[in-house]
Structure 1
Amino acid sequence: MKKSTFVLLSLALSVAVFTYGQRRKKNVEEKTTVEIAQSPKLVVGIVVDQMRYDYLTRFWNHYEEGGFKRLVNDGFNCKNNHFNYAPTSTGPGHASVYSGTTPATHGIIGNNWYDKKSGEEVYCAGDDSYESVGTTSDAGKMSPHRMLTTTITDQLRLHTQQKGKVIAMSIKDRGAVLPGGHTANAAYWFEGAETGNWITSSYYMDALPQWVNDFNASDAAEAYKKPWTTLKPINTYVESGLDANVYEGIFNGATTTAFPHDLPSIWDANDQFELLRRTPFGNSILADFALAALEGEDLGADTITDFLAISFSSTDYVGHFFGVNSKEIQDTYLRLDQDLARIFTALDEKVGKGEYTVFLTADHAAINVPAYLAYQKIPAGYLDMGGMQQEFNEFLQYKYGTTDIVKNISNNQIFLDHKILTNLDIDLDDAEEDIAKELLTYEAINQVYTGHQMWTNEYTEGMPYILQNGYNQKRSGDILFVQRPGFIFSSGRTGSTHGSPMIYDTHAPLLFYGKGIRQGSTVNKTEIPDIAPTIAALLGIAFPNGNTGMPIGEVLE
């Protein structure tokens, strides 16, 4: 065979082989299966009560690798995450995280609020139509009946034909009831007081399961009746203020606000197990209970996704009592970091690495102690609600001849008596506007909006946008007011609080980790109602039925 012929044949054969390879590669690519949804064996939703975003950065060098750092380094960090409504408090926070919407839709407009139908104050999770389970007190008379929408946990139950388990737990009852949704298998909360037991409501069951009875009988809570000393040498807590100062609360029976806190010696003076709420040990006993639930409920044991909702409440109690700049709050977060690591290690062992998905966020953030801010020459302080009420009553008497047109003032809202206004031949819109103008003359008040404005406008940014998202047409008041930045309504001068639409109350962490989650971060703005649809998109299930949030595409693989 001539050399040239051989070369031509070799070239033709090469082209044929290359073409066949390309066609085969194309066919293989065409047959590649598209993954339409992720199926983690378990989703773990973690809410840290009153957690500011800057607790991540402020205490970063003290955290160990298995807790917060694991979530941030191996997961996705939404650095510019905010609540897009007010009031920023526990009930609305948990409802919004899990329902994918705001109080305007889900109806939980506060921890407590004035009910316009009954004329009485109601509690967001209270329900006298059910009985306590696990206690003889009324502490278990709870249900989610005031929440008007479904939650991501409800949607998981519906999607799996009730086969996916949902277990919710918290030191606070509302921190368990609202995340569990309407269809949870169980929601548990800590009774405290003399028992230190975990209890529930007959809404979920008639009797506690054996693993809960065993946990209560083990006296696990009793192990935390011990002195509260700092986890690390206190002189290394340079990220916080002085240990003994005038900006912190003091336990009953104690003589100082400083470490160590001798819990056994002040146990009875502080209602026994109730004392654990205002220490990091409240978080630790919850972590213990969560680990018991993993075993007792056999969560994440099969291919049908389960959901474990955990809400750490002691961070809120400590923040309210000692303030966000205290060494107590720093120690609480360093100990919470260890509790998170314990939970993640157990998840690795029981469910399997890469087989579960976690999100961590807060139900609100918090302001620094206004007295401390004022000492640092920052505009801040306390508003005299009593004095403002007196001046307001004088206005009502002069303008309308009676104070009876106001039925209630709560949650920075004024509820008017529409029947009395009608009898006096006073137009509701006119009354709202006149009262709003009066309130704006008070030094304590920074902004005022009327119910008429909430009804007739659609706000897309700024303060009115936040207020409108918190305004429920059937449940909210007729006038909404906002105090000055840096100021709070309080008679005390110690501890931190929350509830306002200000950025110090709205900026909260949002971390995702685990199966189906990308590694990275974003400074693009995200909002609390985005969490539920993001998890729904990950699982490939229906969004909660009142959802107004948007899936965070950057988070998902």
Structure 2
Amino acid sequence: MKHLMVRFLLAGALFLCGLNLNSQSSEAPFENPKLVVGIVVDQMRYDYLTRFWNRYGDGGFKRMVNEGFNCKNNHFNYIPTYTGPGHASVHTGTTPSVHGVISNNFFDKRKKKMVYCAGDDRYESVGSKTDAGKMSPHRMLTTTVADQNRLHTQMRGKTIGVAIKDRGSILPAGHSANAAYWFVGGDEGNWITSTFYMDELPNWVKQYNKKKSLKKYLKDWELLYDINTYEASGLDNNKFEGVVKGKDTPVFPYGLKKLSKKNDGYSILRTTAYGNSMTTDFALEALTQEALGVDDITDFLVVSFSSTDYVGHQFGVNSVEIEDTYLRLDKDIERILNQLDEQVGKGKYTVFLTADHGAVHVPSYLQSVKIPAGYYDWRSLKSDMEMFLKAEFGSEKLLLNMSNAQLFLDHQLIKEMGLDVEDIQEALVAKILEYDYMHNAYSAETLLEVNFTEGLEVALKNGYSQMRSGDVIYVLNPGVISYSMTGSTHGSGMKYDTHVPLLFFGQGINQGSTTEKTNITDIAPTISALLGIAFPNGATGQPISKVID
């Protein structure tokens, strides 16, 4: 009798456990936000988040940090750190060695000419009389997280991309996007696209362009606050900033309507804080007109703020112009979050915000405060390499191309001359290292054969595509660039170019922060895991468990 009672109790317990297990299994192991918004701020160093923190309002960057998750030690894990590779890597979850976008412009070894990462002559412009729409994502070899969402939802989940730069819209939106829009300046001042996506603009975009809503930004760019409050920046008038055509000094205010006559019309808006505001305007119009996030099928809106990059290149990291641009961008971020609250609903959408690269302090400024920095002339280096090849191996034509800190050799000519490729590579490496501003140089064979585990060599290998990269690659010393004496640039594997913000916010996102290192390639896998969809097909990053678990 006792044994029967034990068996009865055990059976009952198992039955209840079964009910409990069934109850648990009915809950999906993923979050299903109605909308994912991916924001890339072009050329945003991590310290722009902290340097201007006390000046930001409560509803923009601060809201994302305070209510979301802040990855404080987030880095790019490859070289070079440019716009095209950056946007591709953020959204594919992998590096140029896999997705193939090794630079903005790069040497096509098969066609033996330079090509643009988003350029595609098979397609035509839609919404412009120019060739600015002859674009597609075909040089990006892998899917994006938005592509995977489209596949997962049987193409019912929408994807819309918006940016001033074509590559900032096209690459994040992916191959299967419903639309990607970008800006053309000149006398048009329109948002345009490519026949890759559609044969004509939707009526709402036509009407938006017809209203010429950009005219309101052809006004004076004045400081948002009193000049004396911009203590996080250098002097407004200094020799380290580029001067806009039509002005004598790089100082506020900028009369944009007048200056537009000497700066390609509406194109001048790119290099002002207003470029971000007009991007926000159009993105919010797309959000409404495309009814993103209004049903239970996840949509994607990918937005890139390009003007931060243009302003940084023109005026530099330490400029008042940069500070004002970010203070205004903070208000634009707040506008986006507010409309998401209203249209999609609080807690029903997910946002991530990051950058495509950082930027270096103007080297001439660094030199003025006794910090090692400098400039080099890549054209002079190229000429020296040609002379060296002629003297040592019999022909300067052995060097086909030099771009993106890489040297491309003519393998066919090398074969015809009975020379050895590896001998020439190693000779070039040794020669390059004779120059004072060089940090390191490597042959393709070294990058491919050696299993590096740390340092810049890992980043170089992650940025190296055997099909698209060169025979020799070199690295400059920290703070050394090939650029003008004014303004900032980027491209290296140094921390000023790799350390960028990474903020997650909204549905399914934990509140908190971490100083553990994360990589830019972890973003797409994190969002994929959140949505319960397949990772992008070339993804090498990992989900950041602290963000979503």
Q: Name the TM-score class by shorter chain.
A: over 0.9
Match of 1:55 in 2: 48
Q: Give the percent of matched residue pairs that are identical in Structure 1 and Structure 2.
A: 57
1:544 matched to 2:526: no
Q: What amino acid is the match of 1:450? A: S
1:167-182 equivalence runs, <5 A: 167-182=160-175
Q: Distance in 1 between matches of 2:217 and 2:376?
A: 38
Match of 1:447 in 2: 440
1:155-166 equivalence runs, <5 A: 155-166=148-159
Q: 1:375 to 1:31 in 2, by over 3 A?
A: same
Match of 1:124 in 2: 117
Q: Does the 8 Å CA contact 2:100/2:465 hold for their aligned counterparts?
A: yes
Instruction: Please state whether the residue corresponding to 1:511 is helix, strand or coil.
Output: strand
Q: What amino acid is the match of 1:116? A: K
Match of 1:320 in 2: 313
Match of 1:517 in 2: 509
Q: Does the 8 Å CA contact 1:197/1:216 hold for their aligned counterparts?
A: yes
1:384 matched to 2:377: yes
2:68 aligns with one of 49, 72, 75:
75
1:478 aligns with one of 471, 475, 480:
471
- Cα deviation, 1:304-362, whole Å, max 9, x if unaligned, reads 00000000000000000000100000000000000000010000000000000000000
Match of 1:10 in 2: none
418-427 or 91-100, larger mean C-alpha shift = 418-427
Match of 2:209 in 1: 216
31-40 or 267-276, larger mean C-alpha shift = 31-40
Deviation at 1:195, TM superposition (A): 1.3
Q: Distance in 2 between matches of 1:390 and 1:132?
A: 38
Q: What amino acid is the match of 2:79? A: A
Match of 1:6 in 2: none
Match of 1:290 in 2: 283
2:274 aligns with one of 278, 281, 286:
281
- Cα deviation, 1:437-493, whole Å, max 9, x if unaligned, reads 111111121101110012212222111100000000000000000011110012x21
Instruction: Please state whether the residue corresponding to 1:389 is helix, strand or coil.
Output: helix
Instruction: Please state whether the residue corresponding to 2:233 is helix, strand or coil.
Output: coil
Q: Does the 8 Å CA contact 2:386/2:399 hold for their aligned counterparts?
A: no
162-171 or 264-273, larger mean C-alpha shift = 264-273
Q: Distance in 2 between matches of 1:387 and 1:191?
A: 34
List alignment gaps of at least 5 residues for structure 1: 1-19
Instruction: Please state whether the residue corresponding to 1:31 is helix, strand or coil.
Output: helix
Match of 1:134 in 2: 127
- Cα deviation, 1:97-136, whole Å, max 9, x if unaligned, reads 0111000000001000010011111000000100110111
Instruction: Please state whether the residue corresponding to 1:340 is helix, strand or coil.
Output: helix
Deviation at 1:385, TM superposition (A): 2.4
2:454 aligns with one of 454, 461, 465:
461
Deviation at 1:30, TM superposition (A): 6.9
Q: Does the 8 Å CA contact 1:95/1:179 hold for their aligned counterparts?
A: yes
Q: Distance in 2 between matches of 1:518 and 1:531?
A: 15
Q: What amino acid is the match of 1:75? A: G
Q: What amino acid is the match of 2:479? A: G
1:412-427 equivalence runs, <5 A: 412-427=405-420
Deviation at 1:34, TM superposition (A): 3.8
Match of 2:89 in 1: 96
Q: Distance in 1 between matches of 2:336 and 2:22?
A: 42
Q: Distance in 2 between matches of 1:115 and 1:387?
A: 23
Match of 2:224 in 1: 231
Instruction: Please state whether the residue corresponding to 1:455 is helix, strand or coil.
Output: helix
Q: Distance in 1 between matches of 2:438 and 2:185?
A: 38
2:520 aligns with one of 509, 516, 528:
528
Deviation at 1:545, TM superposition (A): 0.5
Deviation at 1:28, TM superposition (A): 5.5
Q: Distance in 1 between matches of 2:145 and 2:132?
A: 26
Instruction: Please state whether the residue corresponding to 1:108 is helix, strand or coil.
Output: coil
Instruction: Please state whether the residue corresponding to 2:269 is helix, strand or coil.
Output: helix
| Structure 1 length-normalised TM | 0.94
Q: Distance in 1 between matches of 2:143 and 2:22?
A: 39
Deviation at 1:26, TM superposition (A): 10
Q: What amino acid is the match of 2:461? A: Q
Q: 1:352 to 1:446 in 2, by over 3 A?
A: same
Q: 1:24 to 1:116 in 2, by over 3 A?
A: closer
Match of 2:6 in 1: none
Q: Distance in 2 between matches of 1:390 and 1:125?
A: 29
Q: Distance in 1 between matches of 2:386 and 2:121?
A: 35
1:498 aligns with one of 468, 490, 493:
490
Q: What amino acid is the match of 2:502? A: L
- Cα deviation, 1:468-522, whole Å, max 9, x if unaligned, reads 00000000000000011110012x2100000111111111110000000000000
Q: Does the 8 Å CA contact 1:357/1:516 hold for their aligned counterparts?
A: yes
Q: Does the 8 Å CA contact 1:169/1:189 hold for their aligned counterparts?
A: yes
Q: What amino acid is the match of 1:106? A: H
422-431 or 506-515, larger mean C-alpha shift = 422-431
Q: What amino acid is the match of 2:501? A: P
Deviation at 1:421, TM superposition (A): 1.1
1:336 aligns with one of 329, 333, 356:
329
Q: Distance in 2 between matches of 1:136 and 1:259?
A: 34
List alignment gaps of at least 5 residues for structure 2: 1-11
1:507 matched to 2:499: yes
Match of 1:144 in 2: 137
Q: Distance in 1 between matches of 2:450 and 2:349?
A: 43
- Cα deviation, 1:234-262, whole Å, max 9, x if unaligned, reads 11110000000001111111122111111
Q: Distance in 1 between matches of 2:149 and 2:451?
A: 32
Q: Does the 8 Å CA contact 1:388/1:442 hold for their aligned counterparts?
A: no
| Structure 2 length-normalised TM | 0.96
Match of 2:396 in 1: 403
Q: What amino acid is the match of 1:202? A: T
Q: What amino acid is the match of 1:473? A: Q
Q: Distance in 2 between matches of 1:156 and 1:229?
A: 42
Q: Distance in 2 between matches of 1:369 and 1:230?
A: 22
455-464 or 25-34, larger mean C-alpha shift = 25-34
Q: What amino acid is the match of 1:505? A: D
Q: What amino acid is the match of 1:331? A: D
Q: Distance in 1 between matches of 2:503 and 2:536?
A: 21
Instruction: Please state whether the residue corresponding to 1:361 is helix, strand or coil.
Output: strand
Q: Distance in 1 between matches of 2:62 and 2:294?
A: 27
* RMSD, matched Cα: 1.6
Q: What amino acid is the match of 1:418? A: H
